[in-house]
Structure 1
């Protein structure tokens, strides 16, 4: 579905975002979203107590809205927590606990964020981070598949993951996307500063 024709990453992002908007308005979106969420629920059920805190994202530009699913997950166990990212001026992310109904503040990019000065919502290091993909790719390194995320180009997640993986070696970073967003090497290739995903979830599979 995606065709880059040798264009720049910026143009590729624009094309992918346009296609995502069209896909979200199409007839097949509801079933694809339902299948993706079902696979996420299956993963969380299997993970059990090993995942007690999840950093989600506030959906923008037709990203899959996982909030209702994750709120239900949290409410089923008093020990579970959710968190949202806060973008620091140095382009790193901090994660603060979030509950439904919390007052959020708009970031410089217009994305609702938690208030870092809210003492009732502490900062936390999540067990699982869910990251929406504009596009994604797979490459084989030393006989193993590695999955990569094409984001919006700010580099926030790459900087953050590099540090968080030092603080929490058991951290799971899961990309969220659809099968049609997969890119091949002629369209886009991960750079040396890009952090790999631990897992990639689509409507058809959980790649890891």
Structure 2
């Protein structure tokens, strides 16, 4: 049972994620989740030219190895990492393995916007780590929602990017045990829905 506030809920979930990452079931869950990502990349990834990933922090799933393989196995494919602007929006800049990154105000490694060798880009697909997640059904269609760290960066950014690119794919990354019910948390009006959710059980759409 979680506390009443989103802050307490996040703290509880992050503690659970740390324990899960150190536990005996983590390796198998990680393997299944990465297999799901590879399946997505082998199919829908053929029409995608750029993917924005995240630099893993606080026991988030590390998706860099499969994504680097995806880049190497196709022409003109690019990866990007988010840069947190002072106005709490995100810009995305191309990232290549070995690039020097700078710590954000929150201590997250991010690209430098001053690096002219790595241009800003608008990704076709964004992978977003979940602290928790929930689902709802509207008019017979499932919708998935992300509980993040509380800064609102992704929600503000996705709202704008979707206006500019209606075909943008936003995929949440999480584990089955992170699913929340309405008594624990429900999405707010400003929350942007996920197009897809990937867990160790597969891709939910």
TM-score by length of 1: 0.97
Equivalence for 2:92: 95
Taking the TM superposition and a 5 Å limit, the aligned residue runs for 1:23-34 are: 23-34=20-31
Taking the TM superposition and a 5 Å limit, the aligned residue runs for 1:156-167 are: 156-167=153-164
Equivalence for 2:35: 38
| Distance (whole Å) between structure 1 residues aligned to residue 154 and residue 197 of structure 2 | 15
Equivalence for 2:57: 60
* CA positional deviation for 1:143: 1.5
Q: Which moved more, 1:125-134 or 1:42-51?
A: 42-51
Aligned pair in 2 of structure 1 residues 48, 110: CA closer, same or farther (>3 Å)? Answer: closer
Equivalence for 1:180: 177
TM-score by length of 2: 0.98
| Distance (whole Å) between structure 2 residues aligned to residue 99 and residue 68 of structure 1 | 12
Equivalence for 1:76: 73
| Distance (whole Å) between structure 2 residues aligned to residue 147 and residue 98 of structure 1 | 28
Where does structure 1 lack aligned partners over 5 or more consecutive residues? Answer: none
* CA positional deviation for 1:69: 1.1
Deviations 1:137-193 (A, max 9, x none): 001112211000000000000000000001111100000000000000000000000
1:197 correspondence with 2:194: yes
| Equivalent residue in structure 2 for 1:11, among 5, 8, 12 | 8
Q: Which moved more, 1:24-33 or 1:6-15?
A: 6-15
Aligned with 1:183: secondary structure? coil
| Distance (whole Å) between structure 2 residues aligned to residue 166 and residue 111 of structure 1 | 27
* CA positional deviation for 1:48: 3.8
| Distance (whole Å) between structure 2 residues aligned to residue 106 and residue 176 of structure 1 | 23
Equivalence for 1:150: 147
Aligned with 2:91: secondary structure? strand
Instruction: Indicate the RMSD between aligned Cα atoms, in angstroms.
Output: 0.7
| Distance (whole Å) between structure 1 residues aligned to residue 139 and residue 151 of structure 2 | 29
* CA positional deviation for 1:52: 1.1
| Distance (whole Å) between structure 2 residues aligned to residue 47 and residue 140 of structure 1 | 24
